[in-house]
Amino acid sequence: MARVVVIGGSGHVGTYLVPALVERGHEVMNVSRGQAAPYRAHAAWARVEQVVADRTAEEVLGRFGPRIAELRPDIVVDMISFDLSSTQGLVEALRGRVEHFLHCSTIWVYGHNAAVPATEDDPLNPFGEYGTTKAAIETWLVAEARRTGFPATIFRPGHIVGPGWVPLNPAGNFNVDVFSRIARGEELVLPNLGLETVHHVHAEDVAQVILRGILHRSAAVGEAFNAVSPQALNLKGYAEAMFRWFGHEPRLRFQPFEEWKQTENAEDAQATWEHIVRSPCHSIEKGRRRLGYEPRWSSLLAVQEAVAALIAAGRVSGPTGWA
């Protein structure tokens, strides 16, 4: 089995990935700032070596890459690189020392999709700082894999979902009160005709892509894989399903976006715009074919599990007697 270093392993995906790696017999080190706990308790965490490091501060000093190399990893999973120079510094420190390097990217590297579902062979057309930066990292890593043999694999999560945090809601933002309004059977107003799409993925299924990439290394190196649920949802269908899940007939009304945003706070309106202007919808056939990826969770089941946890935590007001 391998020595695996997970950078940022205390977050959404790491909550599932790190215990799964331990259960498969790997020696696992979690590198984090030590300020967050996993979302779920698991006995496997007792066998994980915790390495406390402030990546940003150590990169300023040129220490982060060498520090990861000093851990002597066979495999590195980087969940939290958001800057090309950060990835480049880490790769240079690991070059010739690791068997596999897996980088967490995002479906936002696609930007506008000319055809859906978008596949990994479609060109990247990002806009906005996050998607553009992630696309630059991907492009550089793939070139390094093909030009120099650096063993990089890229995975592109959709809108990550799981118990312990708020899912992207049917209005295309993260206002938890949207779920409470649906739970009470109140009218929900959606932008435009509600036909823009969102593409969730359960954090456990993102972990599955990573695990299968490690298992099928020869098929994964030099490649990118979409990490999403089997199907995207449009906002209207998503809202209708959630109303019915709570036992209500849907009560929806629609407004042109420019009118709709006047009734929302600026942060929610901007989040909605960022999601609907992209309207992601992605194929997982490459992951299925090359890695054997088969998501356990549909978008709706993943969201419903997360919302049930929010109700249990008192963050969503469910209907009386609902369970």
Q: What is the CATH number of the domain that holds 248?
A: 3.90.25
Q: In angstroms, rounded to a whole number, what is the distance separating the alpha carbons of residues 180 and 169?
A: 11
What residue numbers bound the domain in which 270 lies? 162-199+231-280+298-312
Closest CA to 293 of 199, 231, 229: 229
Residue 321's pLDDT band (cuts 50, 70, 90): low
The CA–CA distances, whole Å, from 64 to 3, 71, 123, 298 equal 18, 11, 32, 37
Residue 311 in this model has a pLDDT that exceeds 80: yes
**Angle formed by the axes of helices 14-23 and 203-215, to 10°?**
40
Assess whether 99 and 189 both reside in one domain. Answer: no
Residue 204's pLDDT band (cuts 50, 70, 90): very high
- Give the chain's mean pLDDT: 96
Assess whether 248 and 110 both reside in one domain. Answer: no
Q: In angstroms, rounded to a whole number, what is the distance separating the alpha carbons of residues 156 and 226?
A: 5
Q: Are 22 and 28 in contact (CB under 8 A)?
A: yes
What is the reported pTM? 0.96
Q: Are 156 and 224 in contact (CB under 8 A)?
A: yes
Assess whether 222 and 86 both reside in one domain. Answer: yes
How does 26-40 read in b/e, with b if 16+ C-beta sit within 10 Å?
Answer: bbbbbbbeeeeebbe
Assess whether 220 and 248 both reside in one domain. Answer: no
Tens digits of per-residue pLDDT, 9-26? Answer: 999 999 999 999 999 999
Q: Are 280 and 217 in contact (CB under 8 A)?
A: no
Residue 117's pLDDT band (cuts 50, 70, 90): very high
Tens digits of per-residue pLDDT, 153-195? Answer: 999 999 999 999 999 999 999 999 999 999 999 999 999 999 9
Tens digits of per-residue pLDDT, 45-74? Answer: 999 999 999 999 999 999 999 999 999 999
Closest CA to 162 of 310, 285, 289: 310
Domain count, the chain: 2
Q: In angstroms, rounded to a whole number, what is the distance separating the alpha carbons of residues 116 and 106?
A: 17
Give me the pLDDT at residue 322, please: 56
**How many percent of the chain have pLDDT more than 70?**
98
